[in-house]
Amino acid sequence: MKKEAMWAYVFILVPLCTFIVFTLYPVISAAVISFQKYKPLGSEWVGLDNYINTFKNGLFYKALKNTLVYSIITVPVSMLLSFMISIMILPFRKKLQSVFKAAFYLPAIASGVALSFVWKWIYDPLPSGLLNNVVKMFGLSNQNWLGSQKTAMLSLIIMAVFAGLGQNVIIYTAALLGIDSTYYEAADIDGATFFQKVRYVVWPIVKPTTVFLTITGVINGFQSFQNAYLMTGGGPDNATTMAGLLIFNRAFTYFEYGEACAQALILAAIIAVFAVLQFKLSSGDVEY
């Protein structure tokens, strides 16, 4: 074996071992534990009981519904706003573009815990809360944004949309900057309006970016956990209990590791189905 080839295999071996230890092994272990009543000293094999209990649990369906609502609203709204912002900052000079991109990306570099506490202050039910101060100017009374079933989920969705704008704006702007200027020149010659350029030139060219952001956004939405855990704890009355939070509670609050693993694998299967469907439906004429 040539020396160069040997070093190539050595460098491949490091990420391969990392994948096996930190990804493949936990997934296989979770699959095995999902058929057991897990105990630290001697687990008991229970077959499909954990899956049957999961499908009989009404809270599991409510958590899936909450997760679905959260994802199908958060992803398209975030992408639409990101696309519009990218279009608006595109005509600016490069330095000014960088200022806007940095401003929108700033929340992404903050920890999720810090963001959650900032948004908890914004949604504070007391008159000192920022949002209550705003609604007060319109003559409305204080609202318990995170404590009411009517507004808790909407509050989490608004937070997720604004917290996730930065990354999408960066990716969309990069895609827009990659469009050849000759397309715009040809559109100008044909007398196309601004909206016609966006509809018939920009949108088809950035479609691969849109497909990528849609699939990754839905996957992230279905895996959402941190915001609900830190801001509402799943309440009120499980109105914001996401699938990830349900799995966490089952494992680390009730110590039902087998059922938690079964729920996690079911959620992974649902995410895989959604990802494949999205890819099939939205990427028919996309080339990578």
Amino acid at site 285: D
Q: Report pLDDT for 269.
A: 93
d(CA 46, CA 110): 43
Q: Report pLDDT for 96.
A: 86
Residue range 202-227: average pLDDT? 88
Minimal CA–CA distance to 136: which of 146, 151, 124?
124
Cβ(265)–Cβ(34) below 8 Å:
yes
Residue range 200-216: average pLDDT? 89
Residue-wise pLDDT tens digits, 146-186: 988 889 999 999 999 988 888 899 999 999 988 888 988 89
d(CA 145, CA 133): 13
DSSP code string of 150-200: TTHHHHHHHHHHHHTHHHHHHHHHHHHHTS-HHHHHHHHHTT--HHHHIII
Tell me what percent of the residues of the chain surpass a pLDDT of 70: 97
Residue-wise pLDDT tens digits, 31-50: 999 999 887 777 888 889 99
Confidence of residue 250 (pLDDT cuts 50, 70, 90): very high
- How many CA atoms are closer than 13 Å to the CA of 257, on its beta-carbon side? 13
d(CA 87, CA 110): 25
Is the predicted pLDDT of residue 288 greater than 70, yes or no?
no
Residue range 236-243: average pLDDT? 91
Which of the two residues, 283 and 101, has the higher pLDDT score? 101
d(CA 49, CA 45): 9
Q: Report pLDDT for 278.
A: 78
Residue range 118-126: average pLDDT? 88
Q: By three-state DSSP, how is residue 37 classified?
A: strand
Q: Report pLDDT for 283.
A: 60
Q: Report pLDDT for 287.
A: 53
For residue 36, the cross-strand partners are: 45
Is the predicted pLDDT of residue 222 greater than 80, yes or no?
yes
Is the predicted pLDDT of residue 263 greater than 90, yes or no?
yes
Confidence of residue 260 (pLDDT cuts 50, 70, 90): very high
Distances (CA, A) of 177 to 23, 98, 105: 36, 13, 18
* Domains of the chain and CATH, by start: 57-283 (1.10.3720.10)
Minimal CA–CA distance to 212: which of 279, 161, 262?
279
For residue 44, the cross-strand partners are: 37
Cβ(261)–Cβ(34) below 8 Å:
yes
Mean pLDDT of the chain: 88
Tokens matching residue 100 = 């806007």
Tell me what percent of the residues of the chain surpass a pLDDT of 90: 36
Return the H-helix or E-strand segment holding 44.
Answer: strand 44-45
Q: Report pLDDT for 248.
A: 94
